[in-house]
Amino acid sequence: MPEPLLALRGVSKVYARDGAPVRALDGVDLDIAAGEYVALTGASGSGKSTLLHILGCLDRPDQGSYRFAGTEIASLRPDALARQRRAVGFVFQAFHLLPRLSAVDNVALPLRYSGVAPAVRRARAVEVLRRVGLGDRLEHRPGELSGGQQQRVAVARALVGAPSLLLCDEPTGNLDSRSGVEVIELLEELWREGCTLIVVTHDPGLAARARRRVSMRDGRVVGVAEQER
């Protein structure tokens, strides 16, 4: 069997902020193959975001091993780690758009750090915004866009570096159901084009659309289910 794209072994993460330590992840083992579509579910506080951050190399496990395409992430030096992050598209529940930048500048932000020439950056950002259906909102600032539109800008920003892995943390959590469906359909379209897609959600309807469902409780994986559609 070929090595999976993502391989977690005994991954634990403990937060020791004021008072009792919180074991956000507790010995997680998980393999995800290239091209999969996985839904990550569980109650609030069960460790989904922590796990997603580790998968996106935004955070490091305290214990255990995380291998991405065969590379042990803990062994990466800062520059290599930054390059690794560029290979991942991350969509945050809270959007995290910069309020003073236009949609197109927000989307172009990651390219600023990967050595792409300014003119090319803008062209690529425009292309991706058209792709997510915001070709007519290029110069709007986040404050001038609806929640659904903002999340689509965030998806465009995740896409602009042409990542092979898309990680989405409750991408529809702050949206009404219609915008939510639009966003999830956009993500699925990207998955069909070959992207590996991992979506955190506690909407059972959305979770049911994925091919595999991973359930979490108290920092542990408590169930993995293959799903037919």
Partner 1 sequence: MAGLRESLAELGHELRQQRLRALLSLSGVAWGTLSILLLLAFSVGFAELFARRQQGLGTGIAIAWPSRTTKAWQGLPPGRRIRPTHDDIRALALAVPGLEALSAEFVAGERLQVGARVLRVELSGVDPEFGRLRQLEPRPGGRFLNAADQDGRRRVVFLGDDLARSLFGADEPVGRTLLLREAPFTVVGVLRTKEQDSDYGALDEDRAFVPAATFADVYGTRLVNNFVYRAADPARQEACTDRIVQALAARLRFDPTDRGALGLWDTTEEQRMVATIFLAFHVVLGMAGVFTLLAGGVGIANLMFLLVRRRTSEIGLKLAVGARPAQVRREVLVQTLVLVGAGGTAGAVLAAGAVALARSGPWIAETGVPRIPTALGAGAALLLLAVGVLAGWFPARRAAGLDPAEALRE
Ligand X SMILES: Nc1ncnc2c1ncn2[C@@H]1O[C@H](COP(=O)(O)OP(=O)(O)O)[C@@H](O)[C@H]1O
Q: Where does this chain bind Mg ion (CB under 5 A)? A: 49
In whole angstroms, the minimum distance from the beta carbon of 24 to ligand X comes to 3
From Mg ion, ligand X, partner 1, none, interface partner of 15 (C-beta below 5 to 8 A by class): ligand X
Q: Given the rule CB under 8 A, which of 31-39, 95-103, 137-145, 211-219 is the region that contacts partner 1?
A: 95-103
Applying CB under 6 A, among 42, 56, 61, 171 the residue interacting with ligand X is 42
| Residue range at the interface with ligand X (CB under 6 A); choices 14-22, 129-137, 173-181, 182-190 | 14-22
Q: Residue 68, interface with partner 1 (CB under 8 A)?
A: no
Regarding 109 and contact with partner 1 (CB under 8 A), the answer is: yes
Binding mask 112-131 for partner 1 (x = CB under 8 A): xxxx--x-------------
32 and 66 Cβ atoms separated by less than 8 Å: no
Q: Are 65 and 225 in contact (CB under 8 A)?
A: no
The only residue of 22, 33, 58, 76 in contact with partner 1, by rule CB under 8 A: 58
Contacts of 91 (CB under 8 A, 6+ apart): 151, 154, 155, 158, 166, 167, 168, 169, 171, 187
Q: Mask: binding to ligand X, 48-87, rule CB under 6 A, as x and -?
A: xxx-------------------------------------
Minimum CB separation of residue 18 from ligand X in Å reads 9
